[in-house]
Amino acid sequence: MKKKWILMLAVVMLFAFTAGVVAAPAVQEITANLATDIKITLNGNAWTPKDADGSTMAPIVYNGRTYLPVRAIGEALGVKVDWKQDTRTVILGEAAVKPEPKKEDPVKEEPKKEEPKKEEPKPTAELAISPTSFDYNKNAGADGDIAITWGSATKITGITGSAMGGALKINLVEGTHYVVKDNGDGTAVLTVKTELTSLLPVPITMVPDGTELTLNIKFDKGEKNFIIKVVS
């Protein structure tokens, strides 16, 4: 049989807390029913809610809804129930704990890798010949050698000669009037042969001393001049 009660119910009273007397704005006077005929089963077994003193507690019916004592229900289900008086808060389970700010692990600086040193390109030797002149004995002619530093050149493409202010011009033929021997190390030897004198319009013995024959040596990259001076 339902008994009709006039109850002063706050949130705490509805949930069977003994929170003490509160100010009027926090409490509302209502008319509710104790529903002693409502049966409760817990995990398949009949169960009756009781307060801390062991007294039986009945559900409350208000406005068509049934209210159960939260502490008795929570503890029966293994949930910790607590009451915070200053904020009038029902706490189910553990109270929220403000998480501590996560400490960030110090950033480990990776050791700087030393970049391999770039080898500076070796300066390319410049095209050069040595010597740049020699004396040719018209009475005892002999071949003459000229040392070549190739630089960026790789071969001789031709040799021409001139004398007497350009009045005399000759073209030398490789193999007949000169030969080139490459040393394979960026240098070579140019040998000017005595057969060069066959290109002159008169025998070499008749050429006046001091006469100069300028050879223009053309390379695939660049050119050089070489002077042959006739002497006795």
The residue from 42, 72, 92 where one domain ends is 92
Q: Do 59 and 135 reside in the same domain of the chain?
A: no
The answer to whether residue 18 is domain-embedded is yes
Q: Do 144 and 81 reside in the same domain of the chain?
A: no
pTM: 0.48
Task: Please confirm whether the linkage preceding 131 is cis (ω < 30° from 0).
Answer: yes
Which whole number is the average pLDDT over 183-194?
96
Average predicted confidence (pLDDT) for the chain: 82
Query: Is the pLDDT reported for residue 86 higher than 60?
Result: yes
* Percent residues over pLDDT 70 in the chain: 85
Give residue 57's domain range: 3-92
pLDDT at 91: 83
Across-strand partners of 30?
7
Query: Is the pLDDT reported for residue 14 higher than 80?
Result: no
How many structural domains comprise the chain?
2
Q: What is the pLDDT of residues 18-69, one digit of tens each?
A: 444 444 456 778 888 888 888 888 888 888 888 878 788 888 888 888 888 8
Q: Do 71 and 152 reside in the same domain of the chain?
A: no
The residue from 44, 70, 92 where one domain ends is 92
Report the sign of the C-alpha dihedral through residues 92, 95, 98, 102, in that order: negative
Q: Do 88 and 145 reside in the same domain of the chain?
A: no
The answer to whether residue 104 is domain-embedded is no
Q: Are 36 and 48 in contact (CB under 8 A)?
A: no
The answer to whether residue 118 is domain-embedded is no
Residue 128 banded pLDDT, cuts 50, 70, 90: very high
The answer to whether residue 98 is domain-embedded is no
How far is the CA of 226 from the CAs of 33, 99, 191, 197, in angstroms?
132, 93, 12, 15
The answer to whether residue 10 is domain-embedded is yes
Q: Do 78 and 141 reside in the same domain of the chain?
A: no
Residue 73 structure tokens = 């229900």
Q: Do 134 and 204 reside in the same domain of the chain?
A: yes
Q: Do 143 and 218 reside in the same domain of the chain?
A: yes
Residue 112 banded pLDDT, cuts 50, 70, 90: confident
Query: Is the pLDDT reported for residue 226 higher than 50?
Result: yes
Q: Are 146 and 226 in contact (CB under 8 A)?
A: yes
Query: Is the pLDDT reported for residue 120 higher than 50?
Result: yes
Q: Do 133 and 85 reside in the same domain of the chain?
A: no
| Domain CATH for 213 | 2.60.40
Which whole number is the average pLDDT over 101-128?
76
Which whole number is the average pLDDT over 189-207?
94
The answer to whether residue 179 is domain-embedded is yes
Number of H helices, E strands in the chain: 2, 17
Q: Do 87 and 136 reside in the same domain of the chain?
A: no
**Cα–Cα distance measured from residue 170 to residue 196, given in angstroms and rounded to the nearest whole number:** 9
The answer to whether residue 86 is domain-embedded is yes
pLDDT at 210: 94
Top-ranked range on mean pLDDT: pick from 8-17, 28-37, 88-97, 144-153: 144-153
Q: Do 80 and 139 reside in the same domain of the chain?
A: no
Query: Is the pLDDT reported for residue 106 higher than 70?
Result: yes
